[in-house]
Amino acid sequence: MSYSEADIAATIDHAILKPELTRADVDAELDIAAEWKVFSVCVRPSDIPHAVERLAGTGVAVGTVIGFPHGTTSTATKVAEVHQALADGAVELDMVLNIGWLRSGFGAEVEADIRAVVEAAGDHIVKVIFETAYLTDDEIVRACRLSEAAGADFVKTSTGFAGGGATLPHVTLMRASVGPEVQVKASGGVRSLDTAVAFLDAGCTRLGTSASATILGEARAIAAGAAATGAVDDSSY
């Protein structure tokens, strides 16, 4: 399948989550998101109000994380985080499920934790982060089914902070383990155009990455080269 630069940009949640980032670092990343016209940024909760203000009028949405990065905060705390994030202007929420509960076989507790966040979010998009590097295939399937049962909009591979990110086998498994109304997000290690396209071809509809400029810059360069040679339509690749 071929994708234009705009097609790919429309799938990107530009990640601005590293704990050491200064306000100047955050601003530089927000400006990259605006310049490349990505779908959204995913910022640290404390950065939401600033990101909303700086991105006003750009068309870039502001999302944030809940229970990040380990998923071990209480359900009540996650719900409180949701309320604060929405009050501050976030429009999408990427929550980490309780990984230890999932691996312990506490399916009812995991489902209830996700459902509480979904209900607190109302009409806002909720993506459930699994941290697939820690899970077996059976656990990934179970996480998919619990997330879908709880009403989540997306299942997502990784935080990017666990030493392992998205893989094609995991994305393929996740896509096969949820119904068509649940979308899949690949995050962690999405740093090149080839990787981004591979995940989109595998069924992802959203990509979490801090390498937006690299990915979209590659896409633009390929399209420009094709246009210069007249080899193909320059709108997609």
Which residue is listed with tokens 């990101």? 51
Of 87, 149, 70, whose CA–CA distance to 114 is shortest?
149
Active site residue 18: no
- Cα 6 to the center of its chain, rounded Å: 18
Of the listed 94, 113, 127, 153, which one is catalytic?
Answer: 94
**110 vs 43, 75, 132, CA distance in Å?**
24, 10, 15
Active site residue 156: yes
**DSSP 8-class letter at 167:** -
d(CA 184, CA 172): 9
Of the listed 47, 113, 127, 156, which one is catalytic?
Answer: 156
Residue type, 213: A
d(CA 115, CA 151): 6
Active site residue 185: yes
Give the H/E segment covering residue 155: strand 154-156
**Catalytic residue set:** 94, 156, 185
